[in-house]
Amino acid sequence: MLQGKNILLGVCGSIASYKSATLVRLLVKAGAHVKVVMTKDATHFITPLTLSTLSKNQVLSEYFTASTGEWNNHVELGLWADLFIIAPASANTISKMANGLCDNLLTAVYLSARCPVYFAPAMDLDMWKHPSTQNNIQKLISFGNLLIKPAYGELASGLTGEGRMAEPEEILEYLDSEQTPALPLHGKKALVTAGPTFEAIDPVRFIGNHSSGKMGFAIAEQLFSLGAEVTLISGPSALQLKTAQIKRIDITSAQEMLDAIHEHFSDTDITVMSAAVADYRPKEVASEKIKKDSSEFAIELVKTTDILSELGRLKRDGQILVGFALETNNEEENAVKKLKKKNLDFIVLNSLKDEGAGFKSDTNKITIIDRHLQKESFLLKNKDEVAKDICIKIIDLVR
């Protein structure tokens, strides 16, 4: 859920600041763009160089960077951020935030931020329990800030009790859960197919096509970013998912894809069939490698199951089914026939006649035709952008 988010991390002077390195690494791994602002005291516990290396951005702690002559604009930083997380948040900084004190870059950014602000306190037991600290925390919550509660455990002083900063993994999970409900596809299950299928001729040869899977992978990533729980069924592809939370099922043949789809389709709200499934397979598969003993060789082919037609037949009310049509002639006429015959909600048409569209390329040019035969054509775009256009249409149907 943090993919592509601009996240500002504030680090205060606390022994718990060593956890900030892990938090930055986890945020970057989740796909976020991370910038770090430190208080001067925080630099005594963890070096700016460590956090700069992990975030791949300069770490800021002063209004003015003497070495570069650059003014660090607290207003721009506050406006840049989609989320502002202060972890660890010391008792001192919490007090300043609660009372509007602005004597360092971090608190100036806090007062300028228009995004949600999360704070994860870290302090000793008696400091945490002190009425002034509790009063300041309640003030921050009343301002709309979000508390990530400290944990119970052994503290740096040797005492045991509340005050330990939440673990970075817990903070990441909390942030994820906070983002999810606001997303338009939250609570929906999506199934996406991608790539080619390979139909075996013998142990070393197959019938296949040139599909790379790029379009299907982009759609799966986009559906996940919109809040859906996504399962991707992929034919043979060298591509890797950016998002570990997407469930990936690898298959080889059309029959294996059909079997995998049958396991998930009945429980799915949205199904996008972008895979290039073979229409035919060899009737017999040789158990040994076929030798080239003659100048001619014939293979008898039989039809594979039309998976999209099967799903159109099984589709229940409320399910969204999207198909693709890659055509070389009579493009719109053939796409409309497929749309009607297979009971689709809409079909994504692309033509091999369009330069930059089709298999393997990083771009695509599509036309979307819905069941009411309303047509919308798009310019040539990167496949990630094409995936966004397709998902906007899906969101309209979900509403």
Superfamily of domain 6-182: Flavin prenyltransferase-like (3.40.50.1950)
Residues 6+ apart with CB under 8 A from 292: none
6-182 and 189-288+296-398 in the same fold? yes
What's the confidence (pLDDT) of residue 357?
Answer: 66
Paired tokens of 141: 């919550």
- Tell me the three state secondary structure of residue 34: strand
Cis peptide before 131 (omega within 30 of 0): no
What's the confidence (pLDDT) of residue 180?
Answer: 63
Task: Please report, to the nearest 10 degrees, the dihedral formed by the alpha carbons of residues 234, 235, 239, 245 taken in order.
Answer: 20
209 is catalytic: yes
Domain locations in the chain? Answer: 6-182, 189-288+296-398
What's the confidence (pLDDT) of residue 296?
Answer: 85
Whole-angstrom CA distances from 22 to 29, 91, 146, 393 are: 10, 22, 21, 38
What's the confidence (pLDDT) of residue 263?
Answer: 95
Residue of 209, 334, 343, 382 with catalytic role: 209
Pick 189-288+296-398's CATH classification: 3.40.50.300, 3.10.420.10, 3.40.50.10300, 3.90.180.10: 3.40.50.10300
Paired tokens of 353: 């006649």
Rounded distance, CA 273 to CA 347, Å? 10
**pLDDT by 10-residue block (mean), the chain, 399 residues:** 86 94 94 94 95 93 73 84 94 95 93 92 91 95 92 81 89 81 86 97 93 95 91 95 89 97 96 96 94 86 96 95 89 94 95 69 92 94 94 92
Rounded distance, CA 323 to CA 274, Å? 6
The model's pTM: 0.64
